[in-house]
Structure 1
Amino acid sequence: MKRIYLTAAALMAMLHSYAQSSLPDTGYTARKLKVEEVNLVSSYYHQDGNNAAVTGGIGSEKLTDISNSIDVKLIRHDRKNRKHSYLLDVGIDHYTSASSDMIDLKANSSASHADTRIYPSLGWTMENEAKGSTIGAGVSASKEFDYLSLGGNVMFAQKTKNRMGEFTAKLQVYLDQVSLVTPIELRASQTREHEHYPTASRNTFAGSFSYSQIINERLQVMFLADVVQQHGYLSLPFHRVYFTDGSVHQEQLPSNRFKLPIGFRGSYFIGDRFILRGYYRYYTDNWGVHAHTAELEVPVKISPFFSVSPFYRYYQQSAAKYFAGYQTHQAGEDYYTSNYDLSKFTSQFIGAGIHFTPPGGVFGIKQLNTLELRYGHYYRSTKMNANIISLNLKFK
């Protein structure tokens, strides 16, 4: 983890040097590209449970994930005084998974027990402050052993005349390729994990819409809605499903899925020290899943430079119509899964964060102006639990 911090610091210095270097003299010094901020985020996640989809809804769900990402934001102003922002983000996750290791039930330790995911993205926005409008676009990619995803997006935002409200629309597309790594006993031949696998496509098209409004100096609200359409191979090829007769099958799900989440977010400032941040979302899809999410976070300012933010989230979900547990599905069903992510359950997520912004910089480092540390504990009614801790360092 120390290595990525050193790399980021070196990158910060290089970009700062570039921003300060001599550029052609145009008479518009404000148009020079400069670094606005650099964020380093590291997290550690661990979960455990006994409903692994790889083994048909039973077996260990133990998983550990270590994630590191760095994003660099650069800005400049053009001749019309429009603000251009460029965001480069690179993330690397490494995980070990007991359930993935069971793709081959006879292997003591197979290549699938661990993997590394790399996900870079590049974004651009242009804000016209005079008109109150913003446009933007971005591209992204994600690569791991059995999955490749390429994405793109465009966005538009417009503020109201009094600048108290803003409408935002974002269109996204993800074109994915899934490697068909099937359970070893269901393969036509004894293909090993290092050999070539056929692939199938999975495409996602999404529209995200929001409207934010400043009601007064204490209250701000936001309304959110997403429309998501997925098409292609939506199963996971290494998920087993055991029928009532004891036979084993490969998970089979429809090739289309429509999702519709709608939500509301609000922030209320109580004096100078307390903020109430509330969030509610309703979700429905054509697989029969209906869900409610409610969240409350209460940042408390201990001093002008230090705050603590306890939070709590409650989630309730109905089961997809294609879900059934181990050895519960019956012959003749067109679609079937024993993935407990599609089961009926409730979950709770509780934790707290600390936010530190000393005027002289964190640890006396002037450019390191913010340190944020968050911890959360997650518990699901299916007896799966998890813990996550994350660290965010911001350089400006």
Structure 2
Amino acid sequence: MIKHVTILLALILTGMQLQAAVLPEDRTEVLYHRYDGGGVTIDGPSVLVRKDIANKVSVWGNYYMDFVTSASPDVLSQGSPYTEERTETGAGIDYLRGRTTMSLSISQSSESDYDAETVGFGISQEFFGDLSTISLNYSQGNDTVKQNGTPEFSEPAHHQRFGVGWTQVLSKSWIMAVNAETVLDEGFLNNPYRSVRFLTNTGNVGFQKERYPSTRNSDAYAIRSMYYLPYRASLRAEARYFTDSWGITANNYELRYIHPYKDQFIFEAKVRTYSQSQASFYSDLFPHIEAQNFLASDKEMSEFSDLAIGLGVSYEIKASRLKFFDKAVVNLYWDNIAFDYANYSYKVPPNPGDENAVSVAIGEEPLYSFNANVIRFFLSAWY
């Protein structure tokens, strides 16, 4: 099953862009993305097409594909590397009436051992002379978790997401947004392939399946702000706090600088930090079998932090060079992310043929850390 890796596309004002009572412009976007780090490679294409109808309705469709190759330490310590493919299709409609925009979307994704369907609805309203925007959104997902090699295994997972946001223009140079989100998850919420380690009576290592609670409630709060500098550049800052019923709390902070050059280039640089505590039922090594009711050893449930540094550039192709489009922009973004785990160890046994291999006692393995690179290259064309 693909552990979905979130890749942020280069939407500079995501989550805080002021909707000026107009529908999104007609456009087509073609994206290639790639994540490479920690023994995991994920890459694939995505295509988005959006079209306006009578200046009142905007419809869109999206196709997205992931190719995954995983040889991460948790995979190698319990099995063999694997490859996987996931495809996702989505469609939506936005309806504009006065200063109110209503949106409806649906998406479906499929892979060999996981199927997901999501329906979402959103509404936003402008007031106070279009200086303020309030938005509400809701989505519901119904997934089916399966296990390759075990045809009889099929478990449901349900997700509900509630969100509210406020965007405010504070001055001609300053815009700010506040968002809150609650997510309710229910059903089979862990990976059916993963196991936890425990010590046996003989001092060796045994394995048993992970076991998560069947419900999870989480809340997230974010504040984002963008300030336009006198020389056409801008600064964006973001802070986000997350907490859930599994005992995880997390914080991330981001600072981004956007600088236009001449009439065609936009350069961007960012730094982002993230840190989280471990789930209450996580352990890298349990003292014995059935040590507690719920068991997790997935590194995403552990205490860890990461630091991301990113660079990006956009180039606008002049209209005089285009025959069928009003304008087109080529975008390239690169992030380097350094992950450091506070209580998750590197458990892959050394190669028996390695003369320099050093055996490590159980429970004394070195803590795990790695670097990942994320690349997004996409072309946006307006018509």
Correspondence list, 1:14-163, <5 A: 36-48=26-38, 62-77=39-54, 83-99=56-72, 105=79, 113-128=82-97, 131-163=98-130
- 1:35, CA displacement in angstroms? 8.5
Q: CA RMSD in A?
A: 2.1
Q: Which amino acid aligns with 2:191?
A: L
Structure 1 SS opposite 2:300: helix
- 1:39, CA displacement in angstroms? 0.5
For residues 43 and 143 of structure 1, the distance between their equivalents in structure 2, rounded to whole angstroms, comes to 19
Label 1:73 to 1:364 Cα distance change in 2 as closer, same or farther (>3 A).
closer
Q: Which amino acid aligns with 1:121?
A: G
Cα deviations across residues 249-294 of structure 1 (Å, max 9, x unaligned)? 0000100000000000000001133200011000000100011110
- 1:360, CA displacement in angstroms? 3.2
For residues 290 and 114 of structure 2, the distance between their equivalents in structure 1, rounded to whole angstroms, comes to 30
Structure 2 SS opposite 1:357: strand
Contact (CA 8 Å) 1:226, 1:261: kept in 2 or not?
yes
Contact (CA 8 Å) 2:36, 2:373: kept in 1 or not?
yes
Report the number of matched residues.
Answer: 326
Cα deviations across residues 56-97 of structure 1 (Å, max 9, x unaligned)? xxxxxx1111121001001112xxxx6101010011111111
5+ unaligned residues in a row in structure 2: which ranges? 1-23, 342-368
Structure 2 SS opposite 1:152: strand
Identify which range, 317-326 or 329-338, moves more after superposition: 329-338
Contact (CA 8 Å) 2:208, 2:289: kept in 1 or not?
no
Correspondence list, 1:177-196, <5 A: 177-181=144-148, 193=149, 196=151
Structure 1 SS opposite 2:278: coil
Structure 1 SS opposite 2:222: strand
1:200 correspondence with 2:155: yes
The two structures have a TM-score, normalised by structure 2, of 0.81
Contact (CA 8 Å) 1:277, 1:298: kept in 2 or not?
yes
Q: Could you say which structure has the higher strand fraction?
A: 2
2:132 corresponds to which residue? 165
- 1:366, CA displacement in angstroms? 6.1
Contact (CA 8 Å) 1:329, 1:336: kept in 2 or not?
no
Structure 2 SS opposite 1:162: coil
For residues 78 and 284 of structure 2, the distance between their equivalents in structure 1, rounded to whole angstroms, comes to 21
1:387 corresponds to which residue? 373
Structure 2 SS opposite 1:253: coil
Contact (CA 8 Å) 1:274, 1:301: kept in 2 or not?
yes
1:310 correspondence with 2:274: no
For residues 152 and 243 of structure 1, the distance between their equivalents in structure 2, rounded to whole angstroms, comes to 40
1:249 corresponds to which residue? 208
For residues 377 and 86 of structure 1, the distance between their equivalents in structure 2, rounded to whole angstroms, comes to 35
1:4 corresponds to which residue? none
1:52 corresponds to which residue? none
- 1:384, CA displacement in angstroms? 2.6
1:346 correspondence with 2:301: no
Structure 2 SS opposite 1:319: coil
- 1:208, CA displacement in angstroms? 1.4
Label 1:152 to 1:146 Cα distance change in 2 as closer, same or farther (>3 A).
same
5+ unaligned residues in a row in structure 1: which ranges? 1-33, 49-61, 182-192
Structure 2 SS opposite 1:215: strand
Q: Which amino acid aligns with 1:299?
A: I
1:225 correspondence with 2:192: no
Q: 1:238 aligns with which of 184, 188, 193?
A: 193
Q: Which amino acid aligns with 1:118?
A: T
1:300 corresponds to which residue? 259
For residues 25 and 173 of structure 2, the distance between their equivalents in structure 1, rounded to whole angstroms, comes to 32
Structure 2 SS opposite 1:288: coil
For residues 103 and 140 of structure 1, the distance between their equivalents in structure 2, rounded to whole angstroms, comes to 34
Structure 1 SS opposite 2:319: coil
Cα deviations across residues 173-211 of structure 1 (Å, max 9, x unaligned)? 010000045xxxxxxxxxxx3x62420000000011111
Identify which range, 250-259 or 236-245, moves more after superposition: 236-245
Contact (CA 8 Å) 2:220, 2:242: kept in 1 or not?
yes
Identity of aligned residues (%): 21
1:176 correspondence with 2:130: no
The two structures have a TM-score, normalised by structure 1, of 0.78
Q: Could you say which structure has the higher helix fraction?
A: 1
1:17 corresponds to which residue? none
For residues 211 and 378 of structure 2, the distance between their equivalents in structure 1, rounded to whole angstroms, comes to 40
Identify which range, 329-338 or 132-141, moves more after superposition: 329-338
For residues 372 and 328 of structure 1, the distance between their equivalents in structure 2, rounded to whole angstroms, comes to 51
1:372 correspondence with 2:331: yes
Contact (CA 8 Å) 1:360, 1:366: kept in 2 or not?
no
For residues 323 and 71 of structure 2, the distance between their equivalents in structure 1, rounded to whole angstroms, comes to 41
